[in-house]
Amino acid sequence: MNGAESLLRTAAAAGLEVCFANPGTTEMPLVVALDAAPQLRAVLGLFEGVCTGAADGYGRMAGRPALTLLHCGPGFANGIANLHNARRARTPVVNLIGDHATWHAAADAPLASDIESLARPVSGWLRRASSGSRLASDGAHAIRAACTPPGQVASLIVPHDIQWCDAAQAAEPLAPPEAPRCDGTAIAAAVTALRAEGRAALLLGGAALADVGLRAAGRIARATRCTLIHDTFVARLERGSGLPRVERLPYFPEQARELLGGFQRLILVGARDPVAFFGYRDQPSRLAPPTLAVLELASAESDGVAALEALAEDLGAREAWADEDPGKRPDRPSGALSVGSLGQALAALQGEGAIVVDEAATSGIAYHAHARHAPRHTVLGLTGGAIGQGLPCAVGAAIACPQRKVIALQADGGAMYTLQSLWTAAREGLDIVAVICANRAYRILQVELARAGVSAPGPKAAALTALDSPALDWVALARGMGLPGVRTETADAFAAALERALAEPGPVLIEAVL
């Protein structure tokens, strides 16, 4: 057995099931060793950002890491943007990064680079393997690190010669530590805050947005009349009929400050004190007004679900959550296709248990409002703001949950960053409906220009925010990647195409011209 075989057998023994790979020459022993670990599914991505984004989507849905297999520093660098998103989502990911043989490093060959400096900003754990006999142990520690609550990116650099060196055996899995529980002082402070005069809100993030956490938060809200809010961009949010209503913290800082200004106390559960996505002239970074008292019940690293359940118990909110406002899902729209009718159609037609990967930017705003009373579903958001996350994240989610329909609600500009995801979806036969919101612009940049007081941008500024010269042909792009596509220009046509796509297995692309 060589080092590569021992490493991959260690990963399989720890319960890992998928390796998203874009390998090169320095990873050949690992590529060969994949056949010695039949439990590991090997998935090829034609760009490293597809591999890292897919590992992010897989980890969010599976609750355990996938492997990525990446080629030296430049290959890893191609995947950094989606590892940034994974880091912000606190997703468990294990990167295996090949490098030149140790004795070849002094030659300064063309692909030589400082991989540690590239990996450190997006990695919670980082190590360079130095021995084939210890490579399996290095792998076990990387997996343990990735699984340390609430999850993190672990990167293991594996030189070429370390992979082919002799190794004795695979390493035993290492159990990760448990998430720490919040103390009684924090719970008592939250009880006092919720019982005091004035309005209070819980800002939820992380595991608090899972089913159990939401139901506990719903009991607290029913008992104290507090408001439930979630982060603007969520790693994973359970939504739909039967779950408590949770307001989304607005993206634009003026709107967020207006919402938060209506409360006297804000209790953080798995979320941080909110800040603006960008710094704007003459505006503070912090979104909470000075009059708002902010308390932390549970940090992102601690057990937020246990904290909510303990808080509900201390408040006497023991009765099981039941939705008192089941509402009605929206009707199927007709007429013009707009941001509003697109969101309405999706909320009207999506099935029970859908996974919606939302990188629609400005085109997805209406969907969030309409989907409140849709059947139960899961939303995966753009946690780090690095676009090009949606399509690969959908690939990973579909592999993690093959029994569930995945809907990639995707802006056209962001989709072009990782277009190769469509090829992987076709090759693997994944059950994904890619809805491309084709407004043929970087609309958010146009909005920001207007917010900056530029009502009539000059020709260069206008050209840098437009995608219409030439317009992208998404049906042709889909066909070129091996999956069927259809263009829709009315709400009726979009709803009909979506209904067909949801009823049939396999990947399909719908271009929604807005």
| pTM of structure | 0.96
> Residue 435's pLDDT is what?
98
Q: What is the DSSP string of 207-267?
A: GGGSHHHHHHHHHHHHHH-PEEEE-SS-S-EEESTTS---EEPPSSHHHHHHHHTT-SEEE
Taking the CA atoms of the chain, what radius of gyration do you get in angstroms? 24
> Residue 234's pLDDT is what?
96
Mean pLDDT, the chain, as a whole number? 95
> Residue 397's pLDDT is what?
98
Lowest-confidence segment of 137-141, 344-348, 437-441 by average pLDDT = 437-441
Rounded distance between C-alpha atoms, residue 162 and residue 166, angstroms: 9
> Residue 341's pLDDT is what?
97
**Do residues 80 and 118 lie in contact, with contact meaning Cβ atoms separated by under 8 Å?**
yes
44 pLDDT more than 90: yes
| pLDDT, tens only, 207-253 | 999 999 999 999 999 999 999 999 999 999 999 988 999 999 999 99
Our measurement of the distance from residue 131's CA atom to the centroid of its chain's CA atoms, rounded to an integer in Å, reads: 34
Taking alpha carbons only, the member of 89, 106, 159, 127 closest to residue 384 is: 89
If pLDDT is split at 50, 70 and 90, which confidence band does 445 have? confident
Over residues 434-439, mean pLDDT:
96
Rounded distance between C-alpha atoms, residue 241 and residue 475, angstroms: 34
Dihedral, 256, 261, 262, 266 alpha carbons, nearest 10:
80
> Residue 135's pLDDT is what?
96
Rounded distance between C-alpha atoms, residue 467 and residue 282, angstroms: 32
> Residue 166's pLDDT is what?
87
Percent of the chain's residues with pLDDT above 70: 100
Element (H or E) spanning 477, and its range? Answer: helix 474-481
Taking alpha carbons only, the member of 400, 360, 289, 380 closest to residue 64 is: 400
325 pLDDT more than 80: no
Alpha helices in 350-407 (DSSP H): 365-370, 390-400
Is the domain spanning 339-513 CATH 3.40.50.2300? The answer is no
> Residue 511's pLDDT is what?
98
Region for residue 510 given its phi and psi (left: phi exceeds 0; alpha: psi -120 to 50; beta: otherwise): beta
Tokens of 396: 């990973």
Rounded distance between C-alpha atoms, residue 317 and residue 297, angstroms: 17
> Residue 168's pLDDT is what?
81
> Residue 453's pLDDT is what?
86
Over residues 17-24, mean pLDDT:
98
Contacts of 79 (CB under 8 A, 6+ apart): 48, 49, 51, 52, 53, 68, 70, 95
**Do residues 206 and 304 lie in contact, with contact meaning Cβ atoms separated by under 8 Å?**
yes
380 pLDDT more than 90: yes
Q: Which CATH class is domain 184-315?
A: alpha beta
Q: Which CATH class is domain 3-164?
A: alpha beta
Rounded distance between C-alpha atoms, residue 366 and residue 377, angstroms: 16
318 pLDDT more than 90: no
> Residue 289's pLDDT is what?
94
Contacts of 343 (CB under 8 A, 6+ apart): 364, 365, 366, 367, 368, 369, 370, 371
Over residues 365-376, mean pLDDT:
93
323 pLDDT more than 80: no
Crossing angle for the helix pair 304-315 and 184-195, to the nearest 10 degrees: 50
**Do residues 409 and 389 lie in contact, with contact meaning Cβ atoms separated by under 8 Å?**
no
If pLDDT is split at 50, 70 and 90, which confidence band does 443 have? confident
Crossing angle for the helix pair 3-13 and 135-147, to the nearest 10 degrees: 30
Rounded distance between C-alpha atoms, residue 413 and residue 7, angstroms: 38
Percent of the chain's residues with pLDDT above 90: 89
> Residue 458's pLDDT is what?
92
> Residue 328's pLDDT is what?
86
Domain 184-315 shares a fold with domain 339-513: yes
If pLDDT is split at 50, 70 and 90, which confidence band does 322 have? confident
If pLDDT is split at 50, 70 and 90, which confidence band does 326 have? confident
> Residue 294's pLDDT is what?
97
Over residues 112-133, mean pLDDT:
97
Rounded distance between C-alpha atoms, residue 11 and residue 23, angstroms: 18
171 pLDDT more than 80: yes
Q: In sequence order, what are the beta bridge partners of 203?
A: 229, 268
Give residue limits of the domains in the chain. Answer: 3-164, 184-315, 339-513
Buried b (16+ CB within 10 A) or exposed e, 64-103: bbbbbbbbbbbbbebbbbbbbbbbbbbbbbbbbbbbbeee
Over residues 364-387, mean pLDDT:
95
- Centre a 10 Å sphere on the Cβ of residue 451 and count the other Cβ atoms it contains: 11
Q: Work out the angle at residue 436's Cα, subtended by the Cα atoms of residues 431 and 438, and round it to the nearest 5 degrees.
A: 170
